[in-house]
Structure 1
């Protein structure tokens, strides 16, 4: 589902059918980007594409893919690196919710989550980084999490990897005209928890508005900021976690899991 190609910049967003990914797609379209929408649910993607084309008069391309499948992921990577249809902004947002702790979970689910949360970010960032560096411009946004600063199972570990990987890639691309940013949100009011079967913990003031979250992130990207932490509450938490001994963080994580 596309309109005629123009000279507008193009953004590719994974996990674009709902939540933070949908909001990134909407705000980038509102800022004049054509969009490539990637997710598993074609019907939902087509609904988002129709919405964006109607509201913002941009082109919206639908690319259905399960990023835990290596052949499907490669198709997305090929689209990211296509020299004839350059992608100017890559948003690695696709998520994978886990309801059980690592040892209680099925290993196949853990491997699929690992592929979506880390390997897909690695593969698509490589395709984008090579292509964008060659053109001397572009932006890569990797959606990580405040969970990456604590010690709480494989999801936390995956997000820690995403943040560290992003920082390293930002250093490698410094001076190239390509920016790389890790977005590290906390609890965010989307349907992610409902779809994953996860309850909404914590008091209301800890929950972020996805509209402001994405807007603030895009502002940080324009400033070249490498790590974007939305919300004063989470900025304070991350600042504290950076100085608290890891032994304390591990003890706290054990108490929470009991």
Structure 2
């Protein structure tokens, strides 16, 4: 975008005269503030005069060569690349939002966004960006079932402590219950609704047990939480059967 917030495209007038800052934006902003305050500063720019690489590739290389990107940086790059290609970025935007949420692990964020199916590693995201096969990025941004996954996440975050929701095991268990119901020929929307109903049925004592779960001498914390979820789910489904 330009300074007025207008999106720059190939049809922008005088495109050949527009310079894009790939690295050093903070320094340029500082110089502008100094100049506005009446101090005279000069700014020097290095121009990558090449037609061998597109803008996104130059941006990626300029940053990774100096300071390695973390997962959020690559996710931001994937979002920008998808936008350039005209793809919907709702899924990746939500993933970035969850990954930036305190106490939500990257693994839990990925599982909530993908319906318990995948964990998006830095390597996975980088591969989708770098691949010449457009299907890789399209698969990454595919938003099928996104609203259902958001509803399940909202139900979990409304009922459980965020630290419990942010554990990898929590979405893993919740989506396993969804899968169980689907395998019993329950329609997918009904399966999600049923698991949300299960979350809402959890008692104060059950929630405290999940939130305060700790490892024992024989079981890890994940194993303890898995056992609790399974026992609560079993009791819930048995009550449903009786009613």
TM bracket, shorter-chain basis = under 0.3
TM-score (norm 1): 0.23
Q: Which has the higher contact order (CA 8 A, sep 6+)?
A: 1
TM-score (norm 2): 0.25
Structure with the greater alpha carbon radius of gyration: 2
